[in-house]
Amino acid sequence: MDRCASSTGSLRSTASRVLRGAHEKGGVEGRVGYFRRNYLTPVPRVATLEDLNQQIAGFEERELNRRIGSRIRTIGQDFAREAPHLLPLPREPFETAMALTSIRSSGSHSCRTPRSLR
């Protein structure tokens, strides 16, 4: 096999590996949008973060019984089949935000921002 044919085969196999999961990003973003439109619009009124977490847990529970399109299984049934194949959560928790302090002429101000905005 010559060098050109070898590199072309390599590119083809790399491209197929990359493209296999390429369609998943839009699907995940679509589900996030679905959840936001159906459960977080209008913005829920809560007194504490714990109240919001309890409301979201209730929304998630309802979703387990929903079927997507014409699928024969519910979301909960599909998740039950997939769950044994998922990796365990990390043993140690990790920070999902970072603390920032800015200095202004009128004093300092602290805030927390998601890590994704770094």
pLDDT digits (tens, 9 = 90+) for 41-72: 999 899 999 999 999 999 999 999 999 889 99
Q: What pLDDT does residue 114 have?
A: 59
- Only one residue has tokens 């101000």, namely 109
108 or 68, which is more confident: 68
Q: What pLDDT does residue 108 have?
A: 59
Q: What pLDDT does residue 3 have?
A: 44
C-alpha distances out from residue 17 to 7, 12, 76, 82, Å: 15, 9, 29, 21
Determine how many CB atoms are found less than 10 A away from the CB of residue 52: 15
**The pLDDT of residue 21 is above 80:** no
Q: What pTM was computed for the model?
A: 0.51
Long-range Cβ contacts of 39-42 (<8 Å, 24+ apart): none
> Residue 81 class from Cβ within 10 Å (0-12 exposed, 13-18 middle, 19+ buried)?
exposed
Mean pLDDT of the chain: 76
Residue 67: both structure tokens together: 């079927």
Percent of the chain clearing pLDDT 90 (strictly above): 37
